[in-house]
């Protein structure tokens, strides 16, 4: 559940978010958290490309039904 | 419904209909170097189970979907689902007549039954636990969707070859595709909630990924507030806005996007491990790519 903790910190602490973009490994180590390289890459790519898109209403808007139906 | 399996080199364009998932065993078989016709039985059985599971899920979740209404209501839908489960079993029994496959029919059939048991346990937990923790949400998603789509891809690959690297690669690809579908399914419920014109809230917000995430990370005081908001029964705009604001402030949207991206990347990596390049593999890549949220 480390990814959840990191996402929450990014979303509520601007300094941490900036630090994550500049030096993700250092920012995580300071907090005693550990993510895999892949998780850091996923998170940063999502953060950089979807800063506005991560709002719930924006995410759901373009969705058509794909899932189990 | 007639299943149309991919012929030739697997260079078909997947449709946008849900029956495209029935192509997974054939495409994985073909990408593994086998003939897609080998998968006719497992594809049919898997798809029958897929429809049956969807019907049961819709009835248990009290979804007002057209299929349930068209079948005459929840009771009739359960009868139809039972028929589909048994039909799938009958189709699987015909595997005993095949002698050209790389895997013993009984192993494949056992894999099907074990996976359905895992799915059922996930569904049981989903309907009986009022509120899921984040860890529980992922466990249910793995049981209900990840394992089932993993089965579709694994059985296709197993019918073509006995190379454990390929079999594991396709199995993992299917797992991540199933997880992406489950996340999308969950987000679709949020869309239904937001766009509902009904006075009654049409979905159970307490079991959504966004809420499970927020309840994992929010401070205690905020958790209590969010729990109260998930219990709203009247679709009042002010309450809905407060609920969505809390989710946004917690980073729930970013978390769901990050998890989607994580499963997409892991699914693509699994596919590359199993099959560096083939037309059927390209179609498998297209199927998982279309699930991305951007």
Count of CB atoms within 10 A of residue B94's CB?
13
Q: Per residue of chain B (294 residues), what is the pLDDT tens digit?
A: 333 444 444 444 445 566 889 999 999 999 999 999 999 999 999 999 999 998 998 888 777 677 788 888 999 999 999 999 999 999 999 998 877 667 788 999 999 999 999 999 998 888 887 788 999 999 999 999 999 999 999 999 999 989 999 999 999 999 999 999 999 988 988 888 888 776 666 677 888 999 999 999 999 999 999 998 888 777 788 888 899 999 999 999 999 988 998 899 999 999 999 977 888 999 999 999 999 886
Please name the member of A8, A55, A63 whose beta carbon is closest to the beta carbon of B188. A63
pLDDT digits (tens, 9 = 90+) for A1-40: 789 999 999 999 989 988 998 999 999 999 999 988 878 8
B97 part of a folded domain: yes
Q: What is the pLDDT of residue A23?
A: 93
Q: What is the pLDDT of residue A50?
A: 54
A13/B101 Cα distance (integer angstroms)? 56
> Any chain B CB within 8 A of the CB of A13?
no
B294 part of a folded domain: no
A68 part of a folded domain: no
Q: What is the pLDDT of residue B200?
A: 66
Count of CB atoms within 10 A of residue B130's CB?
8
ipTM of the complex: 0.86
B120 part of a folded domain: yes
> Any chain A CB within 8 A of the CB of B190?
yes
Domain that holds residue A29: 2-54
> Any chain B CB within 8 A of the CB of A21?
no
Confidence (pTM): 0.89
B96 part of a folded domain: yes
Does the beta-carbon distance from B290 to A61 stay under 8 Å?
Answer: no
A62 part of a folded domain: no
B2 part of a folded domain: no
Q: What is the pLDDT of residue B183?
A: 95
B4 part of a folded domain: no
How many domains, in total, are found in chain B?
1
B5 part of a folded domain: no
How many domains, in total, are found in chain A?
1
Domain that holds residue B207: 18-289
Residues of B within 8 A of A7 (CB-CB) are: 213, 217, 251, 254-255, 258
> Cβ(A59)–Cβ(B257) under 8 Å?
yes
B269 part of a folded domain: yes
Q: What is the pLDDT of residue B4?
A: 40
Residue B61's CATH number? 1.10.600.10
A59 part of a folded domain: no
């Amino acid at each position: 559940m480390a990814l959840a903790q990191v996402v929450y910190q990014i979303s509520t602490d601007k300094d941490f978010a900036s630090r994550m973009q500049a030096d993700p490994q250092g920012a995580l180590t300071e907090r005693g958290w550990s993510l895999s390289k892949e998780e850091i890459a996923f998170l940063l790519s999502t953060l950089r490309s979807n800063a506005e898109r991560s709002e719930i209403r924006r995410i759901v808007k373009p969705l058509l039904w794909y899932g189990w139906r | 419904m007639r299943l149309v399996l991919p012929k030739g080199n697997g260079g078909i364009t997947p449709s946008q209909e849900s029956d495209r998932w029935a192509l997974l065993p054939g495409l994985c078989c073909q990408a593994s170097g086998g003939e897609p016709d080998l998968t006719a039985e497992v594809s049919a059985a898997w798809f029958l189970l897929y429809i049956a599971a969807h019907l049961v899920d819709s009835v248990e979740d009290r979804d007002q979907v057209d299929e349930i209404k068209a079948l005459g209501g929840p009771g009739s839908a359960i009868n139809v689902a039972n028929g589909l489960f048994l039909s799938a079993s009958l189709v699987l029994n015909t595997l005993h007549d095949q002698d050209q496959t790389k895997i013993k029919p009984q192993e494949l059939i056992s894999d099907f039954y074990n996976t359905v048991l895992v799915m059922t346990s996930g569904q049981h937990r989903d309907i009986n636990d009022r509120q899921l923790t984040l860890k529980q949400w992922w466990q249910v998603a793995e049981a209900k969707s990840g394992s089932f789509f993993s089965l579709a891809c694994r059985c296709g690959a197993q019918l073509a070859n006995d190379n454990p690297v390929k079999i594991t690669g396709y199995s993992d690809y299917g797992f991540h595709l199933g997880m992406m579908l489950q996340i999308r399914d969950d987000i679709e419920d949020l869309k239904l909630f937001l766009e509902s014109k009904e006075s009654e809230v049409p979905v159970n917000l307490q079991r959504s990924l966004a809420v499970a995430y927020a309840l994992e990370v929010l401070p205690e005081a905020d958790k209590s507030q969010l729990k109260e908001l998930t219990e709203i029964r009247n679709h009042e705009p002010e309450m809905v806005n407060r609920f969505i604001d809390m989710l946004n402030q917690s980073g729930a949207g970013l978390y769901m996007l990050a998890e989607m991206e994580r499963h997409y990347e892991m699914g693509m990596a699994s596919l590359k491990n199993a099959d560096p390049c083939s037309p059927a593999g390209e179609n498998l890549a297209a199927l998982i790519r279309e699930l991305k949220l951007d």
